[in-house]
Amino acid sequence: MTDNNIIELTPFRADLTRALARRGERLLAATDLADEVASLEPLEAYYIVREIGLDQALPILLQLSQEQLEACIDLDCWHRYDFAVDSLDEWLAAFALDGPETLARAFFSLDYVVQLLCLTQTVTVYDPDTDQVPPEDDGTTRAMTPDGFYLLELKTDLALKTHPFTLLDALYQYDLGATHRLLSEVRVDLPTQIEEEALRFRNGRMQDIGFATPDEAAVLFSRPDMRQRLPRPRQPLDNERTRVPSVYAGPLSENTLLPQALSLITDQGLLASLEQEIVWAINSAILAYGERTKDIKQITDIAERVRDTVSLGLEALLAKQEDGTLPDAAAAAAKAADLLAVWCIIDLFRHGYAATLGLQQEARQALCEPRFRAWYELAATQQSDEPGDRLERAFVAALLGRHPLRGGFDLARAEDVKAFACLVDIDVARVRLQRLVARIGQAALLP
- What are the boundaries of each domain within the chain? 77-208, 215-445
Per-residue pLDDT of the chain (447 residues; tens, 9 = 90+): 344 444 446 888 888 888 888 777 788 888 899 999 998 999 999 999 999 999 899 999 999 999 999 999 999 999 878 899 999 999 999 999 999 999 999 999 999 999 999 999 999 999 988 888 888 777 788 899 998 899 999 987 778 999 999 999 999 999 999 999 999 999 988 888 899 999 999 999 998 888 988 888 889 999 987 766 666 665 544 444 447 899 999 999 888 999 999 999 999 889 988 999 999 999 999 989 888 888 899 999 999 999 999 999 999 999 988 776 777 888 999 999 999 999 999 999 999 999 999 999 999 999 999 999 999 998 888 888 788 899 999 999 999 998 999 999 888 888 899 999 999 999 999 999 999 999 998 765 544
DSSP secondary structure code for residue 230 in this structure: P
CA nearest neighbour of 22 among 243, 240, 238, 207? 243
Burial class from Cβ neighbours inside 10 Å (0-12, 13-18, 19+) for residue 424 reads exposed
Q: Which helix (H) or strand (E) holds 407?
A: strand 406-407
CA gap 18, 44 in Å, rounded: 12
Spatial CB neighbours of 176, under 8 Å, sequence gap ≥ 6: 146, 147
Query: Contact at 8 Å (CB) between 187 and 150?
Result: yes
Backbone φ, ψ for residue 333 (5° rounding): -65, -40
DSSP secondary structure code for residue 382 in this structure: G
**Secondary structure of residue 125 in the 3-state scheme:** strand
* C-alpha dihedral (393, 399, 401, 405), degrees to nearest 10: 110
Angle at 255 between CA 268 and CA 417, to 5 degrees: 120
